[in-house]
Structure 1
Amino acid sequence: MADFNTIGVGRARTGTLAIDEGLRAHMNKVYGLMSVGMVLTAAAAWAIGGLTVTTDPANAAAQIGATRYLTDLGVTLYASPLKWVVMFLPLIMVFAFGAMINRISSAAAQLFFYTFAAAMGVSISWIFAVYTGVSVVQTFLITAIAFAGLSLWGYTTKKDISGWGSFLIMGVIGLLVASIVNIFLASSAMQFAISALGLLIFAGLTAYDTQKIKNTYIAHAHHGDSEWLAKSAIMGALNLYLDFINMFMFLLQFLGNRE
């Protein structure tokens, strides 16, 4: 006669294996989407940076360093009223994405994410006018190593860090307000404080978001809604992408070599 306890344990193990395999595939998709977004951002930033900064005085519209100049495009993007559009467009797109994610398909959401990543690249292309290319690459690599460690810890830790969420989100709101205020104040001391706190907050968010993505998948995987899981992967990729970009930008404030 069949041992129902054995059957029950077997089914539980089969279910656990299915969750583990599905979670692995889900996390691979999240990191894959994020990586494509990072490539698009880097490509857009590098391309626009190459068009806006020059060392040739004959093609210069404004001098920004001993041997570096802004082209006409650079002046348009960084020194005209258009700079406000370039600066705040990614932020507007993030809020728009959150508002419409439930009404669009996963394919449309993925396309929007990639479009956002390219827009972010244009928005941060100014770093090539301020910092040397070597210091940008070095800071990127350091950020990548730190991000990998924090995300791995968030994924593997047995500690429940969901309680961090409210404090970290409040910190992000405070950083956003302080950053906007400092655009007009231009205080170096305030910028240093914003960068230091921002680095800590987004380091914490990297671990928090990774664990949240994992737990969300485990909680909903049995529903079998592939469309919902696809959108969940895209939202997870967006959150981790934003954590990485913000860590990189704040770390660049400390490690970047200015021209």
Structure 2
Amino acid sequence: MDRYYPGRHGAGAGAATYDAGLRRYMLRIYNYMAAGLTISGAVAFAVASTPALAEAIFGTPLKWVAIFAPLGFVFFLSVRMERMSAVSLRTAFYGFAAVMGVSLAALFLTFTGQSIAMAFFAAGAMFLGMSLWGYTTSADLTRFSSFLMMGLIGVVLASIANLFLASTILQLVVAIVGVLVFTGLTAWDTQRAKSDYVQFAGTPQAEKLAIWSALSLYLNLINLIQLMLTFLGQRRD
């Protein structure tokens, strides 16, 4: 079912204004996302390149803090978002990206740089393709939201369980299902961002929703990269 977007089906000037505003809004989301990825990458590389720091975190029980802190951070932001200002939410997002960077340092310590690059480009291609489809499709993707959220919960719980089970088979199943879930979420989150623009353009809430959309898309890409390492990752000697 086609959604109705104000101005899109009206006069040419109205449609042009709508399209220009939407492009600016989506560009702001992707800019926030790119900034978060840059922060995470820089922190991950810095931690992995500092043997003493890496050993202090991943060679001690602190590794569990590094693993679970991002999940706790996301839960905190989801609860507090409505009561936070846009500036506070943006600062918290960048803080989360730094915390995620510490967690991601484990990838640099485990896998070769070449395999990480391959996983990044493979995940990036899937992300871009699904985000573009979510932006352009007229199909209402909210009908898949329940399935995607159930899949997300299942992937998270199975991933946590496999930290202790270390099952190769379960890891492969999680990777296959996870790729399907996060590519679907990428399309859905992109379309949801468009819907947010329609409803809240010009209001203070729009900026907060842009940051939240950036966080959602950031998480989709980060998870896709980690899942692709299951297929493409080559471990260091």
Q: CA deviation at 1:12?
A: 4.8
Q: Distance between the aligned counterparts of 2:221 and 2:91, measured in 1?
A: 20
14-23 vs 210-219, greater mean Cα deviation: 14-23
* Matching of residue 230 in structure 1 with residue 207 in structure 2: yes
2:25 corresponds in structure 1 to 26
Q: 2:89 aligns with which of 89, 109, 126?
A: 109
- CA distance in structure 2 between the partners assigned to 1:202 and 1:75 by the alignment: 31
Unaligned runs of 5+ in 2: 1-8
Q: Deviations over 1:114-133 (max 9, x none)?
A: 11011101111011111111
CA-to-aligned-CA distance 1:91-126 (integer Å, 9 cap, x gap):
111111111111111111111101101110111101
| Alpha-carbon distance in 1 for matches of 2:208, 2:17 | 20
Query: Would you say 1:168 and 2:167 are equivalent positions?
Result: no
Q: Does 1:205 align with 2:204?
A: no
**Helix, strand or coil at the partner of 1:162:** helix
Q: Return closer, same or farther for 1:15/1:220 CA change in 2, 3 Å cut-off.
A: farther
- Which whole-Å deviations, capped at 9, do the CAs of 1:109-166 have from their partners, x for residues lacking one? 1111011011101111011111111111121122212211110011001111111111
Q: Give the match for residue 55 of structure 1.
A: none
Q: Which residue of 1 aligns with 2:79?
A: 99
Q: Which runs of 5+ in 1 are unaligned?
A: 1-9, 53-71
The equivalences for 1:16-55 within 5 A come to 16-52=15-51
2:216 matched to 1:239? Answer: yes
Do structure 1's residue 255 and structure 2's residue 215 form an aligned pair? no
The alpha carbon displacement at 1:81 in A equals 1.2
1:73-92 matched pairs, under 5 angstroms? 73-92=53-72
Q: Which moved more, 1:72-81 or 1:82-91?
A: 72-81
- By how many angstroms is 1:73 displaced? 3.1
The separation in 2 between residues aligned to 1:249 and 1:96, in whole angstroms, is 23
C-alpha separation in 1, matches of 2:234 and 2:84: 42
**Alignment RMSD:** 1.5
What residue identity is the alignment partner of 1:217? Y
Describe the superposition over 1:167-191 as per-residue Cα deviations: whole angstroms up to 9, x where unpaired: 1111111111111111111111111
Q: Count how many residue pairs are aligned between Structure 1 and Structure 2.
A: 228
* Bigger Cα displacement from structure 2, 105-114 vs 177-186: 177-186
Percent identity over paired residues: 42
**TM superposition shift of 1:43:** 0.6
Indicate the residue corresponding to 1:149 in structure 2.
129
Q: What is the CA distance between 1:79 and its match in structure 2?
A: 2.9
> What's the CA shift for 1:25?
0.7
Q: Give the Cα–Cα distance (whole angstroms) in 2 for the partners of residues 124 and 164 of structure 1.
A: 30
Equivalent position SS for 2:235: coil
1:179-218 → structure 2 map (5 Å cutoff) = 179-218=159-198
Contact 2:148-2:184 at 8 Å conserved across structures: yes
AA aligned to 1:194 is V
The structure with more radius of gyration: 1
- Is this contact kept in 1: 2:196–2:206, CA < 8 A? no
